[in-house]
Chain A
Amino acid sequence: MDPFTSLVSTAVVLRVDNVDTDQIIPARFLKITDRDGLGPHAFADWRYDASGTPRADFPLNAPGAGDAKILVAGRNFGCGSSREHAAWALHALGIRVIVCPSFADIFRNNAHANGMLPVALNEPEHALLLDALTHNPALPIAVDLASQSLTAAGLHCTFSIDPFAKHCLLRGVDTLGFLLAAAPEITAYEASHHAPVCCT
């Protein structure tokens, strides 16, 4: 996993609450066996009209949106299906930070697993950020993980993050490697707790 330390970028704003992972990547695009190629399908049903033409009024189609590494959206982002394809699709779009008042639990884990930073701001600060972006859609936003801070124009906010997720993001920790290294303890556990059921 690539580490995440800090970035400065413009943002794409999606003023929608409860953005579910079916919107981020519709199920018909899940018939893949690798992680690649999902970027063009991200938000497909919101992004393109029936003929497949990009909708001019969808924020991701705005000029310059392709450069944004930050997505600002509403409450409970990433709810619904556990599909990690949603994180892969956003990653493929170049998104590395998602700023919302709250996130769905599984999506937050999936984002962390892919070197992306979900930033949960409190509602008043999130509203101030949206206001600032309304006045200046090209506003650069600085996000720094070590200090857990987000800065944009006069706005300076801090956010909380699980300490282990922070550590893993900052150093690009291989969490599977971390678990594999616990093999002796897992073996000891298995020896003292015999299996409940055998599927074979």
Chain B
Amino acid sequence: MTAPQAPAPTHAPRTLVEKIWQHHVVRPASADAPAILFVDLHLVHEVTSPQAFAELAARGVKVRRPDLTVATMDHSTPTTPRVNGHHVALSDRLAAAQLSRLEANCREYGVPLFPLGHDRQGIVHVIGPELGLTQPGMTVVCGDSHTSTHGAFGALAFGIGTSEVAHVLATQCLLQAPPRTMEVRVEGRLGYGVSAKDLILGIIAHIGVAGGAGHVMEYTGPAIRALDMEGRMTICNMSIEAGARAGCIAPDEVTFEYLAGRPYAPRAAQWIDAVERWRELRTDVGAHYDRTVSIDASELAPMISYGTNPGMAIPVTGRVPEPRVAADEQQRATLERALGYMALQPGQPVLGIPVDVVFLGSCTNARLSDLRAAAGVLRGRKLAPNVRMLVVPGSQQVKRQAEAEGLDAVFASAGAEWRESGCSMCIAMNGDQLAPGQYAVSTSNRNFEGRQGKGGRTFLASPLTAAATALRGVITDVRTLA
């Protein structure tokens, strides 16, 4: 394990991020160059890797540590239900070429791959944790911004571009400047019908979509400690939507219990050693954060986005903001543009807005607890006739567990589509997409213009709000369902 083994020479109190950082420095930063940082786990998917492998090939360089690299196929894979156990053929020639390129690259460079059809395939940020690959104290990177998800385990996990993917493939290292740290302290406890998704939407609305820029956010406080691992992953996942480099949560018994017995987690004596080291992974009393914000979870209602970035979110009982009260001219223009795209009126209540599609999926909210929460709302009920609901489990393992509990039957008898795992309508690369002008309530993480299909309009919300909305056909406060 690469959890810190020795105290810092100074014995000065350190943050969690500083501990992980210092342990991974191969060469310290100098006046001339940033630090060289070692990467413990490199996750790879089909969309952001082909050009990086090509760079290695052009230089005649091998993957330095295929044993610390894992690939899967998720972004452009079909999620249409299998027929007789077989995936439908890829109708998209370009997607097929990209998938076969990943397969060829993994074969050539000896990188383990969980391909389409494998029982461990899934969204890269869902399978890393569920396989026990993601562990406390690690540095984890992937050519994908939602790599921040893995910070929920007390890892330093962040997204990188394809040039940096090549750096890590070739050297297992990155050139990095030390991040600034920001404590996001969450007091109180979440109320009835209010989930981790609502909390992170509330945090982003509070600090803004660039509020975490240049920082790693560490979430602390009783409301965070009360979350299970899946809720913590939802929180860290969306750190990037606040502009942060990464998000993290110090590991505790909840973390260790989640990891115990996972396929790649340490076993026997090694497990005992690992847990002992992991317990050191917390911010010391008196350590200094560059910034601190705090928020009271008890005051939160279920949140929903109304605009075209994840910071444009309000309580589901709220009204669409008025551009005329914006702080400055540019913010007014931004809001007007967003409301124009969404075709919403200033001052309009969001409750009661009709929606066409409900998407339950993505690396933010497609784990077992998310499916359970939504199924709990839908059990024994029918979707509103105007609504199409897609349920896309985050991984094959999630799908299998959900089926073992009969959740697939709950969704199917409500009238929802039970699909194969993948990114699906979160990014709309695989044919699962909104039509122009359609409204969706989505449990994913980005409501950017066209994100879920050109011209599509996204309301981001929790699985509970998504399920309640699917039943009524209009945006609904789950707390008001009988």
Compute how far the CA of A185 lies from the CA of B243 in the bound complex, rounded to whole angstroms.
32
Compute how far the CA of A150 lies from the CA of B1 in the bound complex, rounded to whole angstroms.
48
With A33-B50, A179-B173, A189-B38 already in contact, the answer to whether A28 and B163 are too (CB < 8 A) is: no
With A17-B334, A23-B449, A106-B161 already in contact, the answer to whether A193 and B66 are too (CB < 8 A) is: no
User: Would you call B54 an interface residue if the criterion is a C-beta within 8 Å of the partner chain's C-beta atoms?
Assistant: yes
With A17-B334, A179-B36 already in contact, the answer to whether A102 and B213 are too (CB < 8 A) is: yes
**Scoring A residues 28 to 70 as 1 if CB is less than 8 Å from chain B, else 0, what string do you get?**
1011111100000000010000100000000000000000000
With A31-B47, A176-B55 already in contact, the answer to whether A81 and B145 are too (CB < 8 A) is: yes
A182 contact set on B, CB distance < 8 A: 26-27, 36, 171, 173
A32 contact set on B, CB distance < 8 A: 50, 94, 98
**Would you call B161 and A113 a contact (CB within 8 A)?**
yes
User: Would you call A72 an interface residue if the criterion is a C-beta within 8 Å of the partner chain's C-beta atoms?
Assistant: no
A193 contact set on B, CB distance < 8 A: 2, 23, 38
User: Would you call B298 an interface residue if the criterion is a C-beta within 8 Å of the partner chain's C-beta atoms?
Assistant: no
With A45-B450, A76-B209, A196-B135 already in contact, the answer to whether A105 and B26 are too (CB < 8 A) is: no
With A17-B330, A109-B161, A164-B34 already in contact, the answer to whether A186 and B173 are too (CB < 8 A) is: yes
Compute how far the CA of A113 lies from the CA of B436 in the bound complex, rounded to whole angstroms.
35
**Would you call A50 and B164 a contact (CB within 8 A)?**
no
Compute how far the CA of A194 lies from the CA of B274 in the bound complex, rounded to whole angstroms.
13
With A17-B330, A82-B161, A200-B66 already in contact, the answer to whether A164 and B33 are too (CB < 8 A) is: yes
User: Would you call B14 an interface residue if the criterion is a C-beta within 8 Å of the partner chain's C-beta atoms?
Assistant: no
**Would you call B112 and A186 a contact (CB within 8 A)?**
no
B94 contact set on A, CB distance < 8 A: 31-32
Which residues 156-191 in B have Cβ within 8 Å of A in the complex? Answer: 159-164, 166-167, 170-175, 177
Q: Which of A23, A85, A162, A197 has the largest count of B CB atoms less than 10 A from its CB? A: A197
User: Would you call A144 an interface residue if the criterion is a C-beta within 8 Å of the partner chain's C-beta atoms?
Assistant: no
* Chain B contact residue count (CB 8 A cutoff): 89
Which residues 158-200 in A have Cβ within 8 Å of B in the complex? Answer: 162-164, 167, 175-176, 178-180, 182-183, 185-186, 189-190, 193-200
User: Would you call B413 an interface residue if the criterion is a C-beta within 8 Å of the partner chain's C-beta atoms?
Assistant: no
| Interface hit among B68-76, B218-226, B348-356 | B68-76
Q: Categorize the interface residue count of chain A.
A: 35 or more
With A22-B450, A33-B54 already in contact, the answer to whether A196 and B210 are too (CB < 8 A) is: no
B245 contact set on A, CB distance < 8 A: 105
User: Would you call B293 an interface residue if the criterion is a C-beta within 8 Å of the partner chain's C-beta atoms?
Assistant: no
**Would you call B33 and A28 a contact (CB within 8 A)?**
no
- Where the two chains meet, the residues of B that have a C-beta atom closer than 8 Å to any C-beta of A are 1-3, 23, 26-27, 31-34, 36, 38, 40-41, 47-48, 50-51, 54-55, 59, 61, 64-70, 75-76, 92, 94-95, 97-98, 101, 110, 112, 132-133, 135, 137-138, 143-145, 159-164, 166-167, 170-175, 177, 209-210, 213-214, 240-241, 243, 245, 264, 266, 309, 330-331, 333-334, 337, 427-429, 436, 446, 448-451, 454-455
- Where the two chains meet, the residues of A that have a C-beta atom closer than 8 Å to any C-beta of B are 15-18, 20, 22-23, 26-28, 30-35, 45, 50, 74-76, 79-85, 87, 102, 104-106, 109-110, 113-114, 162-164, 167, 175-176, 178-180, 182-183, 185-186, 189-190, 193-200
